[in-house]
C-alpha cells in the first residue's frame, strides 16, 4: 500500500509544473510529560514530537502528507518516523475524491463512537492524549458528491485497520499479555465499504449511513482474539435552537451470526456567551454488552482569550467509573501554548478500573509554525 501510495504521489508531483504549484508547509513541535499523582510518583508519559504537514494543489487536484517524528522515552517502540496521512485528491464544487492514507470521521458524537467506525483508535496511552491524536488513519478511496442541501459519500477500505492495544508491562497504560490474535486475511472479500447520505435543511442537519466493516476491538473465542464481520446501519441529527444545539446519533450493529447490538446517543451543547461552552452527552449500548456512558465538557476563555480553562469527563454510569481531564491552556503567543493538566481516574469496575491508580499531572508545550 505504501509503495502504491508513494508512486501515486510521485506521479502527481511530476505532472505539475513547479511554477504553477501551490505548495504549503506547516506543522508544530510539542513535548508532553506526565507523572503519577500518587506514590510512587513515577513517569506516566514522556514524549516529544515534530509534526509536518505538506499540501500541494493545482487546478482542483493535489496531495496532502502528514507525518510525525517522535521520541518516546517510556515506549521506545513508539519512537521514530510515523506516516500519518498521505493521500491524493481531486475536487470541484460538486465532487471531492480522495485516495490514500487518511482519517475518516463520521457522526456528531464528541469523543464517543456510534457511527464513527472506520478509523480505529490507538490506545497506546489510553485516553491520556488529545482525541484527534489517537485516531488511526486507513488506506481508503473516498468519493463525495455534493449538492446545495445534501451530499452522498462512498468509502472503500481494502485493508482494514484495528485498535492498537499496548501489551508491554513497562508501559503504565498496558492491558497486559493478550492471547494470540487472528486477523482477517487480506482479500477483496474482507474489505470494508459503506456510504453516508447527509441532508442540510436550514435548521436541521441529519445523515443516514450503512457500513460493511469489522469489529475494531477483538473478542475472545477459543483462546484466540478474533474480529467479527458486521453490518452497521445508523444515522445522526443536529438541531440548533437559540444558544443550544441538540445532537443525536443511533446505530445497529449486526454480525454475521445474526447478533444485534444497539447504540444510541443524545447530546446537548450550550453556548451562553462570555466565552463559555458547555456540553453533555448520554450514550447507551444495548445487547450482550450493555453500558451507559456520560460525558461532560465545560470550557471558559479568560484574559482576552489568552487563557482557556476546560474539563472533559467520561462517566461509566453502570460500573461507577470516571475519567476527567482538567487543563489550563495559556497562549503565550499565537504560536506558543503552554498547557498544564490533571487526569483523574476513579473506578470500582468497568473500563476505567484498570487505570484507577493512573491519575496524573501533566505539562505540554507546543510551538506551531
Full pLDDT tens readout for the chain, 369 residues:
444 444 444 544 454 454 446 999 999 999 999 999 999 999 999 999 999 999 999 999 999 999 999 999 999 999 999 999 999 999 999 999 999 999 999 999 999 999 999 999 999 999 988 888 999 999 999 999 999 999 999 999 999 999 999 998 889 999 999 999 999 999 999 999 999 999 999 899 999 999 999 999 999 999 999 999 999 999 999 999 999 999 999 999 999 989 999 999 999 999 999 999 999 999 999 987 789 999 999 999 999 999 999 999 999 999 999 999 999 999 999 999 999 999 999 999 999 999 999 999 999 999 999
- Sorted by sequence, the CB contacts under 8 Å of residue 343 that are 6+ apart come out as 34, 128, 323, 324, 325, 326, 358, 359, 360, 362
Closest to 270 measured CA to CA, from 293, 246, 253 = 246
Give the DSSP H or E segment for 6. helix 2-14
Which of helix, strand or coil describes residue 340?
strand
Query: Do residues 361 and 341 touch, judged by C-beta distance below 8 A?
Result: yes
Q: How far apart are CA 16 and CA 57, in angstroms?
A: 9
Q: Which of helix, strand or coil describes residue 244? A: strand
Residue pointed to by grid coordinates 495559556: 330
CA distances from 324 to 119, 202, 349, 359 (A): 24, 35, 16, 9
pTM to 2 decimals? 0.90
Domain coordinates in residue numbering, the chain: 103-264
- Residue by residue, DSSP assigns 226-251 as E--EEEEEEEEEEEEETTEEEEEEEE
According to the model, what pLDDT value does residue 2 have? 43
Residue with cell 491524493: 88
**Cell numbers standing for residue 131:** 482525541
**Residue 242 backbone dihedrals phi, psi, to 5 degrees:** 60, -130
Residue 21's pLDDT is what?
Answer: 65
| pLDDT for 131 | 85
DSSP secondary structure of 169-220: TTSTT-------EEPPPS-GGG-EEEEEEEEE-SS-EEEEEEEEEE-SS-EE
Amino acid at each position: 500500500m505504501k509503495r502504491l501510495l508513494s508512486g501515486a504521489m510521485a506521479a502527481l508531483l511530476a505532472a505539475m509544473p513547479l511554477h504553477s504549484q501551490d505548495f504549503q508547509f506547516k506543522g508544530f513541535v510539542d513535548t508532553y510529560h506526565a507523572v503519577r499523582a500518587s506514590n510512587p510518583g513515577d513517569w506516566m508519559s514522556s514524549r516529544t514530537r515534530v509534526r509536518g504537514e505538506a499540501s500541494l494543489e493545482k487546478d482542483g487536484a493535489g496531495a496532502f502528507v502528514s507525518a510525525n517524528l517522535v521520541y518516546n522515552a517510556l515506549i521506545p517502540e513508539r519512537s521514530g518516523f510515523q506516516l500519518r496521512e498521505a493521500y491524493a485528491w481531486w475536487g470541484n464544487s460538486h465532487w471531492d475524491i480522495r485516495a490514500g492514507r487518511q482519517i475518516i470521521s463520521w457522526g456528531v458524537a464528541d469523543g464517543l463512537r456510534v457511527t464513527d467506525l472506520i478509523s480505529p483508535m490507538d490506545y497506546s496511552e489510553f485516553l491520556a492524549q488529545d482525541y484527534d491524536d489517537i485516531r488511526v488513519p486507513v488506506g481508503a478511496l473516498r468519493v463525495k458528491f455534493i449538492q446545495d442541501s445534501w451530499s452522498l459519500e462512498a468509502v472503500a477500505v481494502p485493508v482494514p485497520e484495528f485498535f492498537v492495544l499496548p501489551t508491554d508491562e513497562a508501559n503504565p497504560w498496558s492491558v497486559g499479555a493478550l492471547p494470540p490474535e487472528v486477523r482477517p486475511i487480506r482479500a477483496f472479500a474482507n474489505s470494508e465499504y459503506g456510504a453516508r447520505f447527509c441532508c442540510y435543511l436550514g435548521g436541521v442537519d441529519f445523515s443516514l449511513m450503512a457500513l460493511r466493516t469489522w469489529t475494531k476491538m477483538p473478542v475472545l473465542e477459543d483462546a484466540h482474539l478474533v474480529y467479527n464481520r458486521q453490518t452497521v446501519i445508523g444515522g445522526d441529527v443536529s438541531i440548533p435552537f437559540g444558544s443550544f444545539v441538540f445532537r443525536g446519533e443511533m446505530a445497529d450493529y449486526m454480525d454475521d451470526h445474526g447478533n444485534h447490538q444497539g447504540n444510541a446517543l443524545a447530546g446537548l451543547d450550550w453556548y451562553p456567551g462570555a466565552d463559555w461552552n458547555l456540553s453533555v452527552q448520554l450514550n447507551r449500548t444495548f445487547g450482550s454488552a450493555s453500558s451507559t456512558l456520560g460525558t461532560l465538557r465545560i470550557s471558559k476563555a479568560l484574559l482576552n482569550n489568552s487563557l482557556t480553562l476546560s474539563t472533559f469527563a467520561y462517566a461509566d454510569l453502570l460500573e461507577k467509573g470516571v475519567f476527567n481531564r482538567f487543563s489550563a491552556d495559556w497562549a503565550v503567543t499565537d504560536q506558543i501554548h503552554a498547557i498544564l493538566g490533571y487526569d483523574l481516574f476513579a473506578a470500582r469496575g468497568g473500563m476505567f478500573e484498570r487505570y484507577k491508580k493512573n491519575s496524573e499531572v501533566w505539562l505540554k508545550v507546543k510551538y506551531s509554525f
